[in-house]
Amino acid sequence: MGPLVVASWPAAVSPLVAAWIDGPPRGRRVLSAFATCLYVELGSHDRVMAVHTPDAVQLPIGVRLSGPVRLNDLVHAGDVVTVGGGRVQLPGADVVGVRRSRPVRVGLGGGTAPSAWRSLGLALPGAGLRDDLDGLDDVATRLCVAALTGRPVQAGVGRLVGAGRGLTPSGDDLLCGILLSLRAFERPPHGAHSALKRAVLSRLHRTTSISAALISAATQGWAAPDIVRLLGLLAGSVPPRPTELCAVWNRAQCIGHTSGADLLAGITATVTALTSLASPMRDTDPLSVRLRQSEAAHA
């Protein structure tokens, strides 16, 4: 019997997880395994690393392989792999960190979301409208209004964290969309974003580890490239071309099974709230009236 052959797969390591890759080798549990992505715990509930192939969604907590492989042929949920010493040791293969990746981040500022949103609405009628969230989108919009007007946000956050099914429940993805949007659109001193961030971080124990890690990243502006690109277009000082806005929106909608659509619903909720609060006809504006009716029904 010859020596065991271990493949070496070069990878780009996100700065968000580099400390664990570069640290001492330790056994870490695989939380979930798919053909294009593994999720590995890093020692606390909201610390997770995604080992993924180039064709998977590029996550800010990722270790990106340079070539395609079927990861779940090697590893399954519940397995223990070794992370540290510059690599992730899988059965039969070492994922070797050879360089740092450059995850993208939503910039701070206050932008032109309402006017850009009108451009998107003309190019893609019905953008952001959902009828399958069991009222979570209304909760999200009321939460945005509360945050932007300095009212308590704890109850709204409590209704969203962990709400829904899957590795990243819909309520969590909505919150990520809101946090990222407030970072992009809210003008300094960003009080709404800060209040929401504090409330969300205190409740991460109520959702899955994978979702908690992505929410934690979103509080700092880190997200998938198409989400960051979309918010950059919406918040930019120059109105974007509707065709470009529509193309990025459609790509973002394809993230995960429902995560992309849920993130976009969170962005929609934020822009809805901002537009309503900025409307000079708040007493008669249909959107403002609907928001007040929704708030009264849930008072």
Mean pLDDT score, 94-117: 84
Task: Give the number of other CB atoms < 10 A from CB of residue 98.
Answer: 14
pLDDT above 50: residue 72: yes
Cβ proximity of 131 and 141 under 8 Å: no
For residue range 119-167, list pLDDT tens digits in order. Answer: 666 556 566 666 778 899 999 999 999 999 999 999 999 999 999 988 9
Percent above pLDDT 70 for the chain: 84
pLDDT at 285: 46
What CA–CA distance (Å, rounded) separates 73 from 145? 47
Helical (H) or strand (E) element with 11: strand 7-13
pLDDT at 113: 61
Cβ proximity of 12 and 99 under 8 Å: yes
Mean pLDDT score, 280-295: 50
Mean pLDDT score, 89-95: 96
Please spell the DSSP secondary structure of 259-273, one letter per residue.
Answer: HHHHHHHHHHHHHHH
What CA–CA distance (Å, rounded) separates 207 from 185? 27
CA proximity to 40, closest of 81, 8, 11, 68: 81
Buried b (16+ CB within 10 A) or exposed e, 77-88: eebebebbbebb
What CA–CA distance (Å, rounded) separates 127 from 274? 16
pTM for this entry:
0.90
Phi, psi (degrees; rounded to nearest 5) at 221: 95, 0
Domains of the chain: 7-100 (2.40.50), 113-297 (no CATH)
Q: Binning pLDDT at 50, 70 and 90, where does residue 284 land?
A: very low
If DSSP states are collapsed to H, E and C, what string results for 109-147? CCCCHHHHHHHHHHHCCCCCCCCCCCCHHHHHHHHHHHH
121-126 contacts, C-beta under 8 A, 24 or more apart: 122/242, 123/242, 123/243, 123/245, 123/246, 124/242, 124/245, 124/246, 124/249, 124/250
* Partners of 13 in beta bridges: 63, 100
For residue range 4-53, list pLDDT tens digits in order. Answer: 567 999 999 999 999 999 999 999 999 999 999 999 999 999 999 999 99
Largest CA distance in the chain: 81
Is 52 strand, coil or helix? strand
Task: Give the number of other CB atoms < 10 A from CB of residue 132.
Answer: 10
Cβ proximity of 249 and 128 under 8 Å: no
Percent above pLDDT 90 for the chain: 70
When the pLDDT of each residue in the chain is averaged and rounded to a whole number, the result is 88
pLDDT at 298: 52
For residue range 227-269, list pLDDT tens digits in order. Answer: 999 999 888 877 788 888 889 999 999 999 999 999 999 998 9
Q: Binning pLDDT at 50, 70 and 90, where does residue 76 land?
A: very high
For residue range 166-200, list pLDDT tens digits in order. Answer: 899 999 999 999 999 999 988 877 899 999 999 99
